[in-house]
Amino acid sequence: MMAYDKEKSLLCFDEGFPDRVLKTSYLLSLIVIACSLSYMSLMLTASIAIGCLISLILYKTTWWTIKYSTMYKRENIKGFFLKVSFLKYFVAGAMLLSACLLLEVNVAALALGLGIVVAVIVLKVGSRLFVNYMNRAVKVSNFKHQITNKFQ
């Protein structure tokens, strides 16, 4: 664990944050796909599923690259990260191109699926900022003192 000053920092993440983002994105993807399957056509559901799959693969690849490069490739971190990123986006582009050419995908549904991980990250960071701000704004010791005075 890293030591940090809780009073000065509004945005501190622990080492489990990326894994929680992945799990939440995976569950949200399953929920969105299940909802789209029950309310929309099969092609819209396939478009959302393809977008979610590509988004999860890109996120997992990025997180693996960061972990691997910081653990093993410390001296060549920029070159390794550049190579993996280039390969990653080339493969993702090929997946998107093949999905668009071979299937009748809906672009809006595909974009919704691609934005799942980004939405989860934004919501998790926003909620962390809001909770930390509220913890700093509301003085807990004063609040406890007021409650104990009311009941006495």
Residue 2 lies in a domain: no
Tell me how many domains the chain contains: 1
Secondary structure (DSSP) of 58-121: HHHHHHHHHHHHHHT-STTHHHHHHHHHHHHHHHHHHHHHHHHHHS---HHHHHHHHTHHHHHH
What pTM was computed for the model? 0.74
Average pLDDT over residues 123-149: 72
Residue 47 lies in a domain: yes
pLDDT tens for each residue of 63-94: 888 888 777 766 777 777 788 888 888 888 88
Which domain does 51 fall in, by range?
Answer: 17-122
For the chain, what percent of residues have pLDDT higher than 70? Answer: 81
Residue 41 lies in a domain: yes
- At residue 1, the pLDDT reads 41
Residue 9 lies in a domain: no
Residue 1 lies in a domain: no
Please indicate whether residue 130 or residue 79 has the higher confidence score (pLDDT).
130
Residue 102 lies in a domain: yes
Residue 57 lies in a domain: yes
Distance of CA 45 to the CA centre of its chain: 21
